[in-house]
Amino acid sequence: MEQLLQQLNNSQFEAVTSTEGFIRVIAGAGSGKTRALSYRFAFLVNEIGILPGNILCVTFTNKSANEMRQRIHKLTGDNDTGYINTFHGFCVSILQEDSHAVQYPKSFLVLDNQDIDSMLKIIYEERGLTLRHMTFSKARDMIEMFKLKKYPEYYMDLITMSLDTLRQKYLEAKDVYHIIFYGYLYQQKKCFGLDYNDLLKFALYIFNNHRDIRLKWQKRLEYIMIDEFQDIDKIQYQLMKVLCGYHKNLFVVGDPDQTIYSWRGADVNFLMDFDKKFPDVKTIMMNENYRSTPQILSVCNSLISKNKHRIKKDLLPMCPNDKSVLYYHADTSEEEALWIANQIKSLHDHGTSYKDITILYRAHYVTRLLEERFLKDEIPYTIYSGIQFFDRMEIKDALSYLRMITFKDDLSFLRIVNVPKRNIGQKRIAFLQEYVENHQCSYFEALKENCDHPIFKGTGAKEFIALINAFSSNYEQRTISEVLADILDQSGYETMLRTMGSQERLDNLAELKQSVYDYEISCGEEALLPDYLAHVALFTNSDTNDTSDKVKLMTVHTAKGLEFPHVFLCAMNEGIFPSRKTLTLEGMEEERRLSFVAMTRAMKRLYLSEAHGRNFDGSIRYPSRFIFDIESKSLEHVKEPDESLVTEAQNYIRYNTTNLDGYMPDQSFHVGDKISHNVFGNGRIKSVLSDRNAYMIKFDQMETPRMISFRVPIKKI
């Protein structure tokens, strides 16, 4: 063990050997926190003699739990690695042992999304609901919100109500929300099924109502360690407080600068205020970064320092100096994609494997132009947690509509004849198939010939034929972009996606429309629909070699906890990163933390890029505020925006910031302060209207006071 301890730096050593009491470790990105956790576990077992079964180590994903088990096994040589698990996994252990306390069998069912959808299907059929009332995805989200916020005591119904009483409650429900919610609870009770929320709630209920069971687990868990503590939510926090109530040995590790899951209920304040909630807390700072070069860390430190709600710290570089961080401003998104591709080719030519290169982005739809460029340049790539752009369902559907208009081919027909739903299901397709085989015609012709047949009564067959014929007759006289926009509208396809609540799919369609527009511009009058379909087929039928040596493409959220030698962070534009959905000051700080997480993934070199142009809504695309947050001297500007664009961007960012909920100006004024306004001259603050983000000011030259927004600069005199 002594040999192992010698491998640790001072702060890691302190974390590993501090065993008693409440300990908080603020561990920066790349500081070796996983090593500290696994070595501490080994220290408790090998050096102190604690039994592994008396240690709880909580991680946030099953993957990291498995990795931790493997590390600890190597360090201790013991097959017993205690309770190394996620919160949910540990709650399963509690319930498997003590489910009798809630009258549930040991063989209870842990529900996944598929199970929940199957239950929803039963409820919808039983109560005459359709996806127009609520999509399954929205229903799952609604159920979760009801459980977390609206009816946090719901679990009492599952535990105390009889199955008949719960069914009655479900049948008496009138509005869609309550029908779905109580229908789901009833279905759960019926099969003794528990979802992720229930596991935590049931475990807490048992501990709160059965002192003997609580004490048994408290005594058993002599040491508790929790990783990624910045991502903990309220229920997990409550459970943790209960579990450490006997031995009072709690060790938490986290980084407030990497809190990126507040939308899932994570609350960074549990980490920030840990020393205020527990007695005699020992705080250990682990800031030494063993992952990234000093040049990368200079950029990361500069960026995150602009957040106000954080524990101030700088990552300290332990790696030697290397190359600068590159920043490239492109005039168009195509130019940005070309620059990235050229950089990758250069890296590869100089001996870097493709698999050592990763491209990160805020949203999947930005990959389209990159993919096109990579396919042209034969750069192999793979997309993590996503599907290649032209293989995405909505893109294939949209292109099938265009192919249907042009060629009326069978593949396109079979793909979209019932998308959106036209009541032309398998039985009717089988009828058409038989007709096609007997008459040697296309499916479209078969439908045309038979649309008056009784089998197609009550379907959208005639409307579909009319739609395709109408577009086929005049597409040659129209631009491709017009045809695409109209067919997606008139077919009801976009309406279907809106009904499903699929914003990401709608964003992807907007990106496809942009790709068509770009094609039209590049081809001029020669931009014909058949030519475009031939052009795009090159991307859908890519024959790049399927080897493991590929460039990785993934969202920043997917990259959390990972590291890569070369990282390209692309599409660093306002409205993309930060997301256009960011409405609060708190939300903007989370977006900045997300950007920080992205940049701290890079080990050897970091590349930042963005492109001028226009967004889907026609607005001008500006460089991201996160570029401006970085000290200019920390970046090597390969190509930078001109001064007028920089001024415009900064004005836009300033305006946007002042409209965020929770915004207060840096220089706030108080009642009675004398001020000067650029237009109205001198005056005095009469009141501060925080709810309106404005001051009430009585100007010397005006009879009545004026309400003046915080966003307008005023000076104190």
Instruction: List residues with catalytic annotation.
Output: 33-34, 227-228, 258, 601
- The structure tokens listed for 478 are 């129209």
SS3 429: helix
Q: Are residues 464 and 422 in contact, defined by beta-carbon separation less than 8 angstroms?
A: yes
- Number of neighbouring beta carbons within 10 Å of residue 163: 10
Reference 485, options 616, 613, 334; nearest CA is 616
**Rounded CA separation 341/343 (Å):** 5
CA-closest candidate to residue 103, choices 148, 163, 186, 182: 163
Structure tokens at 180: 């779905």
Taking Cα atoms as reference points, which of 346, 328, 337, 329 lies closest to residue 372?
A: 337
User: What Cα–Cα distance (Å) separates residue 370 from each residue in 331, 417, 541, 584?
Assistant: 15, 31, 16, 31
Q: How far apart are CA 225 and CA 150, in angstroms?
A: 31
State the burial class of residue 41 (Cβ atoms within 10 Å of its Cβ: 0-12, 13-18, 19+): buried
Q: What is the spatial distance between Cα 590 and Cα 556, in angstroms, rounded to a whole number?
A: 13
Alpha carbon 631 to chain centroid distance? 28
Residue in 377, 287, 362 with CA at minimum distance from that of residue 581? 362
Q: Identify the CA nearest to 568 among candidates 349, 375, 385, 374.
A: 374
Phi, psi of 247 (to 5 degrees): -80, -25
The three-class DSSP label of residue 306 is coil
- The CA distance from 134 to 136, in Å, is 7
Left, alpha or beta for 32 (phi > 0: left; psi -120 to 50: alpha)?
left
* CB count in 10 Å sphere of residue 533: 17
DSSP sequence for 609-643: EEE-SB-TTSPBP-B-HHHHHS-GGGEEEEE---H
Q: What are phi and psi of 606, to 5 degrees?
A: -120, 135
CB 298 within 8 A of CB 321: no
Q: Are strands 602-611 and 635-639 parallel, antiparallel or unpaired?
A: unpaired
Segment (H or E) for 413: helix 410-416
47: Cβ–Cβ under 8 A, 6 or more apart, which residues? 1
> 573 near 605, Cβ under 8 Å?
no
Listing from the earlier edge strand, what are the strands of the sheet with 282-286? 83-85, 55-58, 223-226, 250-254, 22-27, 282-286
